[in-house]
Amino acid sequence: MGEYRTQMKIIGDILSTTRDDLQDEDGATVTYLIRKANISHSRISRLLKTLVSQGLLEQADSQGSNRYKISQSGREFLQAYNSFTKFADNFGLNI
């Protein structure tokens, strides 16, 4: 049985992928993110829209498709997320 992931964990996975695991400099495509974050197209579309509106991801049109890169705010959020994941781990909890 697969591990249950919270919404926060999925967001962390998406941001980590756009920071550390990009296909090329233009950013990651939706298809690539779906594969890496392992979630459905409809769910990732909603999340990407939210992350872009919150300024955590930057969206750009490249070669006829939307591509996503992490923003400075996104990097700061990811740093906080990683720190507080360790913090919550100490209590046996997932954030």
- The reply on whether position 80 binds another protein by CB under 8 A is yes
Shortest spacing between CB 64 and another protein, in angstroms: 29
Residue 50 Cβ vs another protein, minimum distance, rounded to whole Å:
7
Q: Which 3-state string (H, E, C) describes the chain?
A: CCCCCCHHHHHHHHHHHHHHCCCCCCCEEHHHHHHHHCCCHHHHHHHHHHHHHCCCEEEEEECCEEEEEECHHHHHHHHHHHHHHHHHHCCCCCC
Identified binder of another protein from the candidate list 5, 52, 58, 81, rule CB under 8 A? 81
Phi then psi dihedrals of residue 90, to 5 deg: -60, -30
Which 52-71 residues touch another protein, going by CB under 8 A? 54-56
Compute the least distance from the CB of residue 67 to another protein, in Å: 21
Q: Give contact residues for another protein (rule: CB under 8 A).
A: 8, 11, 50-51, 54-56, 73, 76-77, 79-81, 83-84, 86-95
